[in-house]
Chains A and B, each alone.
Chain A
Amino acid sequence: RKEVEQDPGPFNVPEGATVAFNCTYSNSASQSFFWYRQDCRKEPKLLMSVYSSGNEDGRFTAQLNRASQYISLLIRDSKLSDSATYLCVDMEYGNKLVFGAGTILRVKS
């Protein structure tokens, strides 16, 4: 079983749609989680951290469910520029990141 699992997609959505991605993790002791965004042939870039109480950054909302060991990312009012691969990340032992394989989002006009 992979330590961090994501639906690879692709998710094809129209502009303005709301889309949600889920990710499951296997290490129940993990404390920190992140969502990264990666554009084609580019490096991963931090999108947002995921806090236990849930957190929002503009159109993006992240949630953590420790009981079920999954995290989610909600994107509202999708823009063409949101098209990318979204990586779910688990930080183990405070210094090692474990990456999911990513979920592809395509926003179309």
Chain B
Amino acid sequence: NAGVTQTPKFRVLKTGQSMTLLCAQDMNHEYMYWYRQDPGMGLRLIHYSVGEGTTAKGEVPDGYNVSRLKKQNFLLGLESAAPSQTSVYFCAVGDSNQPQHFGDGTRLSIL
């Protein structure tokens, strides 16, 4: 998916471990988002950023932290992973009143 790159693509963690997911864009969009997708529930917004140095909480922010130190990167951190955080995580980018474009996802399993 040209323009929005997520790393890693897959990861397995043990309960209590921490990790950081990276989203990088080369599309120069102001807004960046982190979603999680679980079966039957659709995508839910975790955190988002409307510009470099800014972050805001979405619908399901608990257990996650984010940072946007550079415009092109948006990091999602899991401080102490829990099995309930097993999910597929998608990063998206966009601008005001425009549709978003998604990265190809990170599959995360917490044992």
Of chain A, the residue at the smallest CB distance from B31 is: A95
Is the C-beta of B50 less than 8 angstroms from some C-beta in chain A? yes
Interface majority SS (helix, strand, loop, mixed), chain A: strand
B90 to chain A, nearest CB (A): 6
Interface residues of B in 36-88 (CB under 8 A from A): 40-45, 48, 50, 58
Whether A43 lies near B42 (C-beta < 8 A) is no
Q: How many residues of A contact B (CB 8 A)?
A: 22
Asked if A49 and B104 make an inter-chain contact with CB atoms under 8 angstroms apart, the answer reads: no
Min C-beta distance of A109 to chain B, whole Å: 27
Interface size class of B (residues with CB under 8 A): 20 to 34
A96 touches B41 (CB 8 A): no
CB-based contact A43/B96 at 8 Å? no
Q: For the complex, is A94 an interface residue (Cβ under 8 Å from B)?
A: yes
The CA-CA distance from A71 to B96 in the complex, in Å, is 21
Question: Which residues of A are interface residues toward B (Cβ below 8 A)?
Answer: 4, 8, 31-32, 34, 42-46, 49, 87, 89, 91, 94-97, 99-102
